[in-house]
């Protein structure tokens, strides 16, 4: 009964319907040649060729004459299909505990230019976001590239469709700040073309890992990460973020992983949040956390440098057991086919992969027969690249419409 017709998309809007899927295949590197593009789309060679030509005409992809397929195959060599290196870009912005970062990101998830993060902290989101957008606008001017959108990653749950940050951790922003609208406003004022989006940083990191990192090819990708305090989760299903009905899904921090654990502000005790974050690690290792460097940095140095120390090792194993219990619970509920860990959790995995995999397999119901692959994240700045993915999405969904929209800022 809702007026909007969201039921069918593909066939009803004019223009080539295969344009978006084709671009996504090139964007994620799954279509290196026209031949595999043909197979992957399930269309005839004629159509795939026309689609590729149109994407090339739009300036989104480029075709090299160099052979794209593996050498040694017989038959006529295929031409290489790749993202246009000098095509349009999107503005990606990330706010984190220590400051912010702005970047221009092209198709394929390639970071074209970056503005170094600065340690500026303000209780006013508009001020911080204004600074990031300014940095981004400067990058855009310097590069002279066309911009088709902007994406923002924040360390907070972002409610949809309002675009408000419900719990901006370590940012001192007021809860419920309309970050998406503030960001969009700043972007518009800076003269940057295209729509603006905002999302949770772990969600966006998961999106990036799925398209360009350790999550490539996974159908149900679960990501769990912890940076400074608290634990974030994300799920990517069939290439799309699963954010629940209002963007608040995968709030995994309050799974009980230690019945006798320390109390948590949520009202429970022994939550994943307070049992597996860097602070928990440092205290388990018997260290008073120093304020000079970040908790994650301290934990990382400890794990990499002094893993021989029995106290450090014991703390590591304790956290692995707790994390494994939490992951097992998530496996039971979400049944992913791959898990990618970031932040301190990634370090814990690197330190003792066997133990973590064993705990997860042992405590998940069906894990005994096989178990889910657990991998460390592989992408640098994955939240930033994920923010770019958010901005690229309209282009991937409908290149013609998105490019036309960003051409006329209206």
The interface partner of residue 35, options being a second copy, DNA, none and the CB cut-off 5 to 8 Å by kind, is: DNA
Tell me the closest approach of the beta carbon of residue 106 to DNA, in angstroms.
23
The verdict on 244 binding DNA (CB under 7 A) reads no
Q: Which is nearer to a second copy, 115 or 255 (CB)?
A: 255
Q: Which is nearer to DNA, 45 or 262 (CB)?
A: 45
* Virtual torsion, Cα 100, 106, 110, 114, nearest 10 deg: -30
Tell me the closest approach of the beta carbon of residue 222 to a second copy, in angstroms.
10
The interface partner of residue 190, options being DNA, a second copy, none and the CB cut-off 5 to 8 Å by kind, is: none
Tell me the closest approach of the beta carbon of residue 181 to a second copy, in angstroms.
19
Tell me the closest approach of the beta carbon of residue 96 to a second copy, in angstroms.
21
Q: Is 50 exposed, middle or buried (0-12, 13-18, 19+ CB in 10 A)?
A: middle
The interface partner of residue 46, options being a second copy, DNA, none and the CB cut-off 5 to 8 Å by kind, is: DNA
Using an 8 Å Cβ cutoff, are 344 and 331 in contact?
no
Using an 8 Å Cβ cutoff, are 221 and 114 in contact?
no
The verdict on 4 binding DNA (CB under 7 A) reads no
- The residues that touch a second copy, with contacts defined as CB under 8 A, are 1, 3, 5, 7-12, 17-18, 21, 25, 30, 36, 39-43, 157, 159, 166, 217, 219-220, 233, 237, 242-252, 254-256, 259-260, 266-270, 329-330, 332-337, 362-363, 365-366
Buried/exposed 320-354: b ≥16 CB within 10 Å, e otherwise: bbbbbbbbbbbbeebebebbbbbbbbbbbbebbee
Using an 8 Å Cβ cutoff, are 380 and 110 in contact?
no
Tell me the closest approach of the beta carbon of residue 43 to a second copy, in angstroms.
6
Tell me the closest approach of the beta carbon of residue 33 to DNA, in angstroms.
5
Using an 8 Å Cβ cutoff, are 163 and 177 in contact?
no
Angstrom CA distances, 288 to 197, 229, 299, 305, stand at 39, 15, 11, 17
The verdict on 138 binding DNA (CB under 7 A) reads no
Q: What residues numbered 41-100 form the site for DNA, per CB under 7 A? A: 42-47, 49-53, 68-69, 72-79
Q: Which is nearer to DNA, 50 or 190 (CB)?
A: 50
Angstrom CA distances, 275 to 6, 293, 318, stand at 42, 21, 9
- Treating both helix axes as pointing N-terminal to C-terminal, what angle do 19-27 and 45-57 enclose, rounded to 10 degrees? 80
Q: Is 2 exposed, middle or buried (0-12, 13-18, 19+ CB in 10 A)?
A: exposed
The interface partner of residue 174, options being a second copy, DNA, none and the CB cut-off 5 to 8 Å by kind, is: none
The interface partner of residue 72, options being DNA, a second copy, none and the CB cut-off 5 to 8 Å by kind, is: DNA
Tell me the closest approach of the beta carbon of residue 146 to a second copy, in angstroms.
27
- x/- map, 8-47, DNA, by CB under 7 A: ---xx-xxxxx--------------xxx--x---xxxxxx
Tell me the closest approach of the beta carbon of residue 184 to a second copy, in angstroms.
23
Q: How far apart are CA 140 and CA 89, in angstroms?
A: 9
Q: Which is nearer to DNA, 78 or 364 (CB)?
A: 78
Q: How far apart are CA 203 and CA 252, in angstroms?
A: 12
Q: How far apart are CA 220 and CA 373, in angstroms?
A: 12
The interface partner of residue 49, options being DNA, a second copy, none and the CB cut-off 5 to 8 Å by kind, is: DNA
Ramachandran angles phi, psi of 110, nearest 5°: -85, 125
Tell me the closest approach of the beta carbon of residue 113 to a second copy, in angstroms.
32
Q: Which is nearer to a second copy, 256 or 378 (CB)?
A: 256
Q: How far apart are CA 247 and CA 231, in angstroms?
A: 16
Q: What residues numbered 98-137 form the site for DNA, per CB under 7 A? A: none
The interface partner of residue 233, options being DNA, a second copy, none and the CB cut-off 5 to 8 Å by kind, is: a second copy
Angstrom CA distances, 63 to 52, 81, 276, 331, stand at 9, 5, 47, 42
The interface partner of residue 337, options being a second copy, DNA, none and the CB cut-off 5 to 8 Å by kind, is: a second copy
Q: Which is nearer to DNA, 12 or 57 (CB)?
A: 12
The verdict on 311 binding DNA (CB under 7 A) reads no
* Virtual torsion, Cα 116, 122, 124, 125, nearest 10 deg: 30
What residues make contact with DNA under the rule CB under 7 A? 11-12, 14-18, 33-35, 38, 42-47, 49-53, 68-69, 72-79
């Amino acid at each position: 009964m809702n007026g909007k017709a969201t039921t069918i998309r593909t066939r009803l809007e004019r223009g080539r319907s295969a344009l978006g899927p084709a671009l996504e295949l090139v964007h994620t590197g799954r279509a290196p040649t026209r031949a595999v593009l043909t197979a992957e789309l399930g269309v005839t060679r004629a159509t795939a060729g026309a689609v590729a030509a149109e994407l090339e005409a739009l300036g989104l992809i480029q075709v090299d004459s160099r052979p794209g397929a593996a050498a040694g195959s017989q038959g006529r060599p295929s031409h290489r299909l790749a993202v246009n290196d000098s095509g349009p870009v999107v503005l990606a912005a990330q706010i984190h505990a220590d400051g912010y970062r702005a970047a221009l990101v092209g198709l394929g998830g390639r970071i074209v230019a970056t503005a170094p993060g600065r340690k500026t902290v303000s209780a006013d989101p508009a001020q911080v976001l204004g600074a990031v957008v300014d940095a981004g606008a400067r990058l855009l001017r310097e590069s002279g590239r066309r911009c088709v959108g902007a994406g923002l990653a924040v360390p907070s749950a972002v409610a949809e469709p309002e675009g408000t940050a419900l719990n901006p951790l370590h940012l001192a922003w007021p809860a419920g700040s309309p970050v998406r609208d503030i960001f969009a406003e700043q972007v518009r004022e800076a003269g940057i073309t295209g729509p603006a989006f905002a999302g949770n940083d772990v969600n966006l990191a998961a999106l990036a890992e799925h398209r360009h990192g350790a999550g490539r090819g996974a159908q149900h990708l679960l990501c769990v990460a912890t940076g400074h305090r608290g634990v974030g989760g994300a799920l990517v299903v069939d290439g799309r973020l699963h954010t629940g009905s209002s963007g608040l899904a995968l709030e995994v921090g309050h799974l009980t992983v230690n019945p006798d654990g320390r109390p948590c502000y949520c009202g429970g005790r022994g939550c994943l949040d307070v049992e597996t974050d860097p602070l928990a690690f440092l205290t388990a290792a018997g260290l008073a956390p120093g304020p000079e460097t970040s908790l994650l940095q301290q934990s990382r140095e400890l794990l990499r440098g002094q893993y021989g120390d029995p106290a450090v090792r014991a703390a590591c194993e304790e956290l692995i057991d707790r994390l494994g219990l939490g992951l097992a619970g998530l496996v039971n509920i979400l049944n992913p086919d791959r898990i990618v860990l970031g932040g301190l959790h990634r370090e814990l995995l690197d330190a003792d992969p066997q133990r973590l995999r064993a705990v997860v397999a042992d405590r998940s119901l069906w894990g005994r027969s096989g178990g889910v692959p657990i991998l460390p994240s592989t992408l640098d700045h994955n939240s930033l690249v994920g923010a770019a993915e958010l901005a690229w999405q309209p282009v991937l969904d409908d290149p013609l419409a998105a490019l036309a929209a960003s051409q006329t800022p209206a």
